[in-house]
Amino acid sequence: MGAVHYKDDYASDEPWKDIDLNWDGNKITKAPYELTRDDKKLTIRNKKTNEVSTIELTSIFPPGLKLEVLSERGAVRFRHILPNDKIPFEAKFSVAGKGIIKTKAFDDDGEIVLDTETIGDVITEKLNEVRDKQTGKIRPAKGNISIDPTWQVAASTDDCRRILTTDYWSLATAYSAAGAFPVSSYQWGSGMRFTNITITHGATIDSAYLTLRAYNSSSTTVCNTRISAEDVDNAPTFADDADAFDARWANRTTARVDWDGIGAWTKDTDYDSPEIKTVIQEIVDRDGWASGNDIVIFWDDFDDRATTYRQTYSYDDSTSKAPQLVITYTAPPRGWAQK
């Protein structure tokens, strides 16, 4: 999901180009944005809107920490690596522009709570202890701690998260999820839009599956989920409207695949769904399907069959770790004509 190609001038008929995130000196130019690094200052120009944003590290404690700049298809991470025996940590950044900035911290056992304060154009990050983000409990750190301010060049409306029991809805979600959170909330689900599916109408789908990267580690059972697709010719992006999402989910394919009894997940490991070629076949067999159309996949437990959940990275959290839809197909025979 998200950008896989770019233009230097989005208002023109210029051909789409392949993204290349390698540095050319102190710049990255072959992406939906132009990134320039000047020591501890990053300047980001969004090529689609031409808006310029900056983020500059102004102070750091303890001094001398390793600093990385990680570029992704739609985001830039300014990451510090903190040895677990160097807590407490504090960093200040001066920011300007219209990009969306997020802050987070994590070690080898998952995400931990990072205290963040914004006053004017100054963002302050503080870490005085290791408190697990999922459980809220203080624990020992495992391995080095990575601390990110991430500049999201643009928010994605191509993924979303919904919880029916608590009437929760989000387009700007850090993770997609399906299943249930025991005791407090059930019927979790997500929508994922995959764009520019270049499969000809009349093709035979030989194989299809989702590849999801675990957002956190989880060994609890039982996680029962279901995969389907929106039954339309060309799925639009999501509106910021829970009722509209519910209506789209109600109009899903007849073909549905149960992904039940999901085993333990380990953070940052990829997991493949069961075979979902029947779901994709139903979409590309529609009379209005054409190569280059878009598909929305639903991954959910809205039927309330689970007692635990699984979480995967969303595009808004990591463009490089977002869900992938993998399809292999056989083109229609020569001479075949669409009705």
3-state secondary structure the chain: CCCCEECCCCCCCCCCEECECCCECCEECECCEEEEEECCEEEEEECCCCCEEEEEEEEEECCCCEEEEEECCCEEEEEEEECCCCCCEEEEEEEECCCEEEEEEEECCEEECCEEEEECCEEEEEECCCEECCCCCECCCCCCEEEEEEEECCCCCCEEEEECCCCEEECCCCEEEEEEECCCEEEEEEEEEEEEECCCCCCEEEEEEEEEEECCCECCCCCCEEEEEECCCCCCCCCCCHHHHHHHHHCECCCCEEECCCCCECCCCEEECCCCHHHHHHHHCCCCCCCCEEEEEEEECCCCCCCCEEEEECCCCCCCCCCEEEEEEECCCCCCCCC
Asked whether the predicted pLDDT for residue 157 surpasses 90, the reply is no
> How high is the pLDDT of residue 339?
44
Q: What is the mean pLDDT of residues 39-46?
A: 92
Q: What is the mean pLDDT of residues 207-231?
A: 92
Asked whether the predicted pLDDT for residue 98 surpasses 90, the reply is no
Using CA atoms, how far apart are residues 262 and 259, in angstroms rounded to an integer? 7
pLDDT in tens, 317-337: 776 788 889 999 998 876 555
The residue with greater pLDDT, 87 or 218, is: 87
Residues of the chain with pLDDT > 90, as a percent, come to 59
Q: What is the mean pLDDT of residues 39-47?
A: 91
Residue 220 CB partners (closer than 8 Å, separation 6+): 182, 308
> How high is the pLDDT of residue 51?
83
* Band of residue 2 on the pLDDT scale cut at 50, 70, 90: very low
pLDDT in tens, 297-320: 999 999 999 999 999 988 777 767
Q: What is the mean pLDDT of residues 248-273?
A: 95
Residue 177 CB partners (closer than 8 Å, separation 6+): 161, 188, 189, 190, 215, 309, 310, 311, 312
* Band of residue 41 on the pLDDT scale cut at 50, 70, 90: very high
Residues of the chain with pLDDT > 70, as a percent, come to 94
Q: Tell me the average pLDDT of the chain.
A: 88
Asked whether the predicted pLDDT for residue 223 surpasses 80, the reply is yes
Asked whether the predicted pLDDT for residue 10 surpasses 80, the reply is no
> How high is the pLDDT of residue 207?
93
> How high is the pLDDT of residue 4?
56
Q: Which of 138-152, 154-168, 177-191 has the lowest mean pLDDT?
A: 154-168
* Band of residue 174 on the pLDDT scale cut at 50, 70, 90: confident
Asked whether the predicted pLDDT for residue 292 surpasses 80, the reply is yes
Q: What is the mean pLDDT of residues 275-290?
A: 96
